Structure 1
Amino acid sequence: MNKPIPFAIYSRKSRFTGKGESIGNQVEMCRDYIRLRYSAEEAETALVYEDEGFSGGNLNRPGFKRMMADAKAKKFDAIVIYRLDRISRSISDFSTLIAELADRKIDFICIKEQFDTSSSMGRAMMYISSVFSQLERETIAERIRDNMQELAKTGRWLGGVAPTGYTSESVASITVDGKQRRSCKLHVLPEEAQLVRTVYDVYTETDSLTGTEAELLRRELVTKTGKSFTRFSIKNILQNPVYVMADSAVYTYFKDRNAYLYADEPAFDGTHGIMAYNRTTQVKGKTATLNPMEEWTVTVGGHEGLIPSKMWLSVQASLERNKSKSYRSSRSDGNKALLTGLVYCSCGSRMYAKLTNRITADGQPIYTYVCKLKERSKKACCSVRNANGNILDTAILAQLKSLTEDGSAFRQQLEESRDILFNQNHSQNFIDDLHKKHRELTGQIDSLIDTLTELGDSTAKAPITQRIEKLTEEQTALALRIDELSELSERRDLCSDEFGIFVDLLSVFSNACEGMELEQTRAAVRTLVRYVVWDGETAHLILFGVEPNEVDPAILEAVMSGGHDDDNGDSESLWGEDSK
């Protein structure tokens, strides 16, 4: 009897849709294939590698990299995928992959195209199919470039959230064949426009992103969404060519950097702003990344520019010059800190560990926990003194160990809160309602798409297209919300078994910590501690199992009203949705 072949399953989808060839569906179809041709045991024990939100244009994907690292370690003998382009649409990438797997004697099986590299015919057919996959990709790329050129003819705004300083308004136009078309155009909002000018003025004065951030915080200026400015939101405004009053100097700037210019120099009139298409790449779950300028399609927009070209070009030169001395986060300095990610200032902002130049008597580096808002605002928005990290970590660890001395009392407190902790019905009902709304939106979008295909060249297509775009945005936002709430629910859901483990951990915590490495101790602490609040004098330790109404109201109010933003301006509730 032949030895069972261990399998690996790989699945990829460039974006979340909730239907069709989803990540889950691909995995299940691969399992069915293994189950039918080999055995149920091999189907269930197959290693699974997933990448959602990643294009097939290259192999720079986390799940794929893990799979190839395991292939190098010979953890499996065959890779099964649903469809060939789930791996790659690049011939060179694909050829390299097949050669690499062949060297390691790892077979490659594709269900849809029915390819199997264990045979010479299978290898030949797979190469042929990969040629057509790349041809399809290049055809799509050409179509995108053609669309960019058509957009550049109009200089219109593509829709979505308008940049700070502008609002998007719908404009009607009559085509040569007498049909009415609607498109979006940016219109200046005076108050926001002044905010943009202030950002440029402050940066010009400070020549520093961190200096600009501190000054804007001191002035209590906020973004159009009402959040505090960060270095990242400031840089986005400073780099955006939509604001520059495009003149011949701006034309030369983009020409010298090989951007595709879809307007002659006379069109750069020193009044209107720039429209740059294909400027960024959006990847689900990640911050948009700036594409190389040679990939941009640049034209003069129909909107008014806000920033003189001399200032805008000077700012670009400064940003480029300062790139080599750009801000480096000190969070990595806290890799010796036990409470990394758990400490909050009483102002509501996170605190991070920062190394000093001193060492303890036994040669250990000394670090402090620093309020992020205090540092960002140069003490203008928070004056809580730093916490000695070495002392705070030691004190918290000692406090956790002491719980075992009063384990029965603490367990009684947990038992009293048990019903509250385990009651997830309300949260689940809310998530179920969101899923229902998501399905309804999917149905509406599908119905509108069907209607759109039947209209031909009718003028009714434009409002239907806009409606589809709006519903798609709602659907995407709803899907992200469902993911967030589901993750929160899973993170806070303590089943009966986990409750027992939690109590058992308390009873062995003191002795177990003695032999643990830092990462192990940190993980153990995180199973017990919800967070720690530092008020400049006292550290308040809040454990899981403690409800908001059991916390000192002064501490709770400070934390819940602080809005501890991360680097992207997003904030989170320490208790989640239930705390509102």
Structure 2
Amino acid sequence: MTDTTPATARAMPRARRPKGVAANAPGMRAAVYVRLSRETEESTSPERQRAACEALCQARGWQVIAVEEDIDVSGYSRGLDRPGLQRILARLAEFDVIVFFKIDRLARSTVDFAEIMKITQNEGVALASASEPLDLTSSMGRAMAKVIAVFAELESDTIGMRVSNAHEHLRREGRWTGGRVPYGYQVAPNPDGPGRVLVVNPEEAKTVREIVGRVLEKDSLMKIATDLTKAGVPSPGHSSRQTSGKRTDSKQWYTTTLKSLLTNPQLLGQVIEDGKPILRTDGLPLVTRPPILDMDTWHALQDELKRRTGAGERRRHNTALLRAVLYCGVCASRMYTYTSKGRLRYRCIGRLKQRQRTGEQGGCYGPSVPAEHTEEHVTGQFLEKFGSLQVVRMVEHVGEDFRPQIRQAEEALSDLEKDRYERGLFKGDDGAKRYADQYAKLEDRLASLKEKQRNAKPAGMEAVPTGRTFGELWKAADVEGKRDLLLEAGAYVEVAPAKRGAQRLDTSRLAVFFGEDGKIRRADADGKDVEEVIREAVARDLEMT
């Protein structure tokens, strides 16, 4: 077939330069690449880099057909994953040469530089430095370029180490080194010298304490997040928070936002680096700013959050109200919801589980009850028994109680072991000695704390009124929150078989239990340690007397 496309419209193939030909022939098509990690680097500003590259192109008679920049982009941490560089590599068929100011502007890693050389060589594209007299088309020139890249990588590592050490030194002195400001704090001038420090933000700290109080009162995170959003309370925001410490204008709260906030040890005044607390020489977390929460409240908060995510108690959004509360009176299995004729019901699936486990039919026929009427009956029983009672929060008087410090030291020992054996830290000639010294100090501290605890006056428990009744909490709670209230009250409902021919729910089929009796029955039905539940109940009674 004859090609009828006009000659002027056809794309002409690019003439490939033979290997060994220097990249200085006139008429070549050039792409200029500019990179800068920070805009404050005056010595290699984007304007200066571009001017030097364009001057080289003009001197050699090259035509600049593309200029790409990566500003505020690290060549070390980002590797080849840089927008400007990727745009050039995607258009290599249009270029004869890539011009850059210095090799360290193109790549900070020897591996990255070698990869760029390999890609451009395969496409017949030359590399040219505007400030280094290298011919990268010859074997000797490429070897010299790799040597320069090695020293560029070494310089980058050295700079990174110096900056990291300087930041750690400043953090240990209590100064703020920039980055995201933890929620609950704000930046202020250092009263004891140069630089800036973090101090408590009164409004945000008040919000944090109110959130913690509601969590300890068993409010669900979904309910708390919804209330904060409706009230227009500024949220911690996301990654858009600026390094100057400014907040976003976001007032949207999510459960993930709350979880991240409530599990952040910076609320204790600890200094965090790379997601982990900086440790003192004795292995305990470094505290250089006023804490928002005291240690007792922090541990109570973490225990409550852990309880909510513990095995067997994980909750789903919009979960059934009586899930883990309703049990079959025939086989003692939990009852689950299903839909029949458009209506929600609870039924026992013990027979199905038996068939799945053994292949045989069980003795239970799978009794069921209507969800609406059953939930109304149990709700009425709960409110009748607890509705007018005031919710109390159990507060532990520390006194001479050293358990929080013991727990902190044990966690520090565990983190120290993970640092060495899982994260591969404490390397180098003196790594083993530093690890052994730090571990020994922590062990000595732990032993000393345990000895003090053995001789300490036992801590006491006090029931502190919250000013709210169970009825008020129930009215304000969502389905998850109401289910939590039932479980905390020890609710256990046993469903007896239905009488033959019965059309409506006979409430006499429902045996409702609360308190320790209900908790013991539920533990027994779930195959848990009943004796442990009894021991915990006895221990609570003794602490209250």
TM-score higher than 0.5: no
TM-score class, shorter-chain normalisation, is 0.3 to 0.5
Where is the helix percentage greater, Structure 1 or Structure 2?
1
TM-score for the superposition, normalised by structure 2:
0.42
TM-score for the superposition, normalised by structure 1:
0.40
Specify the structure having the higher radius of gyration (Cα). Answer: 2
